[in-house]
Structure 1
Amino acid sequence: MLLGSNLQFSRWTFFKHLPTRKFKLTALCQHKFVATLPHFATLTSHQKHQINLYVDTLLQWNKRMNLTAVREVNDVMERHVEDSLAILPPLSDCYRSRCGSSCDKLSLVDVGTGAGLPGVVLAIARPDWDVTLMESMNKRCVFLDHVVGVIGSSNVKIVRGRAENLGQNPCFREQFDIAVARAVAEMRVLVEYCLPLVRVGGLFIAAKGHDPEDEIKKAESAIQKVGASLLQVCSGFEEFMF
């Protein structure tokens, strides 16, 4: 499902320019490399197939539009898919311990999702969650709409817009149990963009690929301003409860 204001783009107008040949799916599930991906290994065969479809579609579209700088299958699996799945264990543990409820049927928003990372991967891994992919760029929204159809996920919707604006919209403000952001912006900016989307008592997870201590220190005033508190930092993930 694709949502967004002033989105003037015909599905057929776009698809008619795609090659008509069927792409040969990369057999990721049978590849020896998968043995080194512990989080991917926990998925069901159907979920692995959905990941196959997602990665294959991502790499094919990446030849025509800049979705990711990672262009090899193994690199996409390790740096994007496995990295996205790695969010789930600390997220689940933190939600159960801090929010006092199960992790079933949660609502999650992926802010600045880009090519659907980590949102699409999380939607595949947790089909019981309602996942919203928030993206401001039209061409990326078109890709997301297409790839969600390819993988057959009914628990995903795409919203075109900027988080700083949508966070002030009553339809989105404080509407999600969890917000995630991966490599989008500096921490103090992410806090102001993402936390307004999270309900009171919910979580915001910021995935960072480097030591976040300096960013956290600079973001302290912004964190206090929105009424959040830092819960933990683990394996490059900073988790906030709002």
Structure 2
Amino acid sequence: MTYGPDEFAAETHVSRETLDKLKIYARLLAKWQKAKNLVANSTIEAMWQRHFLDSAQMAPHLKSVFGDRKLTMLDIGSGAGFPGLVLAIMGVGHAHMVEANGRKCIFMGQVSRETSAEATIHNVRIEEIEPFPVDVVISRACARVSQLLDWAAPFLSDTTEMWLLKGEGADEELTEAQSCWKMTVDRYGSLSDPGGVVLRLSGIKKL
């Protein structure tokens, strides 16, 4: 079965206006992919499930925890903008997109402009950013949990949470991370990947 924008809308209940903005994003991704290789070529045909749904599934969980307030999000290793730009377009809050690859940042900048997403693009490595207050640190397909925690550490306050999209190796990564970090872990089953999981890390403290 083909999974496209209509199926995405039925599953996520986004507004027509939000769906139109995500369609602009999808159109730009397909256009840029031909020359710039922003994501794996094998995922382009299934982008609405593999990329957009995978990112969007975080939104209702974040809302259930934080309510309707606009969040300041730090997206580490943003790539082509997933999940941060999708969440920004969905109205979750302001996304700070951190990506060292210049062409991917130019792409995200165009998506942000054409969709009016609340986003700031940082074309640097995460270690080079002066820390600022964030509500949530998010990441997808970037690095292991322990590495993400190390990168996020300067931005973590007592209330900052980390929300990570992970695959089948999540438990192994968490075991590794918990040798150096204390945290509360909540898991949510993935809508886009039977073997995937959305991880919520809260009460994060370095041991």
Scaled by the length of structure 2, the TM-score of the pair is 0.85
Which structure 1 residue ranges, 5 or more long, are not aligned? 1-30, 97-101
- In structure 1, what is the equivalent of residue 128 of structure 2? 165
Does residue 212 (structure 1) correspond to residue 176 (structure 2)? The answer is: no
- In structure 2, what is the equivalent of residue 17 of structure 1? none
Whether the 8 Å CA contact 1:108–1:132 is kept in 2: the answer is yes
Does residue 63 (structure 1) correspond to residue 19 (structure 2)? The answer is: no
* Residue correspondences, number: 195
CA distance in 1 between partners of 2:10 and 2:137 (Å):
21
Secondary structure at the counterpart of residue 88 of structure 2: helix
Does residue 143 (structure 1) correspond to residue 97 (structure 2)? The answer is: no
> In structure 2, do the counterparts of structure 1 residues 193 and 42 end up closer, same or farther at CA, with 3 Å as the change threshold?
same
TM-superposed deviation, 1:218: 0.8
1:126-153, Cα deviation, whole Å (9 max, x unpaired): 16x1211111111111111112112222
Whether the 8 Å CA contact 1:111–1:133 is kept in 2: the answer is yes
TM-superposed deviation, 1:41: 4.3
> In structure 2, do the counterparts of structure 1 residues 32 and 176 end up closer, same or farther at CA, with 3 Å as the change threshold?
closer
- In structure 2, what is the equivalent of residue 237 of structure 1? 198
CA distance in 2 between partners of 1:84 and 1:120 (Å):
9
TM-superposed deviation, 1:84: 0.5
> In structure 2, do the counterparts of structure 1 residues 64 and 40 end up closer, same or farther at CA, with 3 Å as the change threshold?
farther
CA distance in 2 between partners of 1:59 and 1:215 (Å):
32
Moved more, 52-61 or 210-219: 210-219
Does residue 201 (structure 1) correspond to residue 155 (structure 2)? The answer is: no
- In structure 2, what is the equivalent of residue 78 of structure 1? 49
> In structure 2, do the counterparts of structure 1 residues 32 and 159 end up closer, same or farther at CA, with 3 Å as the change threshold?
closer
1:5-84 correspondence to structure 2 within 5 Å: 33-37=4-8, 41-70=12-41, 74-84=45-55
Whether the 8 Å CA contact 1:111–1:179 is kept in 2: the answer is yes
CA distance in 1 between partners of 2:103 and 2:9 (Å):
33
> In structure 2, do the counterparts of structure 1 residues 32 and 130 end up closer, same or farther at CA, with 3 Å as the change threshold?
closer
1:200-231, Cα deviation, whole Å (9 max, x unpaired): 2121011102241111101113323xxxx123
CA distance in 1 between partners of 2:3 and 2:104 (Å):
31
TM-superposed deviation, 1:159: 1.0
1:23-63, Cα deviation, whole Å (9 max, x unpaired): xxxxxxxx984454367541111110000000100110111
CA distance in 1 between partners of 2:79 and 2:136 (Å):
18
Which residue type is aligned with residue 82 of structure 1?
Answer: L
Which residue type is aligned with residue 112 of structure 1?
Answer: G
Scaled by the length of structure 1, the TM-score of the pair is 0.73
- In structure 2, what is the equivalent of residue 112 of structure 1? 77
TM-superposed deviation, 1:73: 5.6
Whether the 8 Å CA contact 1:179–1:195 is kept in 2: the answer is no
Q: Decide which structure has the larger Cα Rg and report it.
A: 1
